[in-house]
Structure 1
Amino acid sequence: MKDAVGWHVEMEFQEDNKRTRAAAMVRLPDGNEVRGHGYASRHPSDGNQPRVGEEIAAARALNDIKEQLLSKAHDEIDDASGRTSYPITR
C-alpha cells in the first residue's frame, strides 16, 4: 500500500448581519494552490445563526474548488492522452 497523501485546506470567513463570505484554499502536493469562494445570505425572516451561514458559504467555496480541481484533472488527462476526457457529473 502507498503512503497516505494529505492536502491542507484553509477556510476564512467574513460576516456581517446579512451575509457570510468564505474563502477556501487547498495546497496541492506539487506546491500549487487552488482558491475558491462562496457566499451565503440570510433572509430577513431567519434568525441570526452565524454557524449556518458559515457552513453554507464554506460548502459553496469547496464546491468552487471541486470544479477547479475537476477541470485541472481533465486538462492533465487530455494533455497526457491526446484525447478529450469527459467528467461524470452527479
Structure 2
Amino acid sequence: MMHTAVGWHVEMEFQEDDQHTRAAAMVRLPDGTEVRSHGQASRHHTDSNQPRVGEEIAGARALNDLAMQLLGKAHEEIDTDSGRMSHPINV
C-alpha cells in the first residue's frame, strides 16, 4: 500500500468593531479548487470586550460552514463518479 502526503492551505481573516466580529475562511485544495465561507459573532452590550472570544466564535462558525460545504462537494463527486445517490451524514 502506497501512502501519499497531501496538504491543504487554509486562510482565515477577521474584521472587528466594538460589537461584531466577522470571519472569512478559505481552503485551497490540491486540485486548485477554493471553497470559501463566512461566520460572525456579536457581543452583547453587557459583555466585556474580548476580541479573541469573538474571533473564536466567528472563526468556528466559518470553519463549520466550510466543513459542510466540503462534505457536500465530496458527496456530489461520489454521486457523479458512481452514478448513484450517496447519503451524507450530518456532523
TM-score range, shorter chain: over 0.9
Provide, for residues 44-65 of structure 1, a one-character-per-residue CA deviation record: whole Å limited to 9, x for no partner.
1110000000000000001111
Provide, for residues 56-79 of structure 1, a one-character-per-residue CA deviation record: whole Å limited to 9, x for no partner.
000000111111101100000000
Q: 1:3 offset after TM fit, Å? A: 2.6
SS at match of 2:4: coil
Identical residues among aligned pairs (%): 74
Q: Where does structure 1 differ by over 4 angstroms across 4 or more consecutive aligned residues?
A: none
| Distance across 2 between alignment mates of 1:16 and 1:4 | 40
Unaligned runs of 5+ in 1: none
User: Number of aligned pairs?
Assistant: 90
Output the amino acid matched with 1:84.
Answer: M
| Distance across 2 between alignment mates of 1:89 and 1:45 | 35
RMSD: 0.9
Unaligned runs of 5+ in 2: none
Q: Does 1:58 align with 2:59?
A: yes
Match of 1:48 in 2: 49
Provide, for residues 20-50 of structure 1, a one-character-per-residue CA deviation record: whole Å limited to 9, x for no partner.
0000010000001000100000011110000
| Distance across 2 between alignment mates of 1:71 and 1:30 | 17
What is the correspondence of 1:29-44 to structure 2 with a 5 Å cutoff? 29-44=30-45
TM-score, normalization: structure 1? 0.96
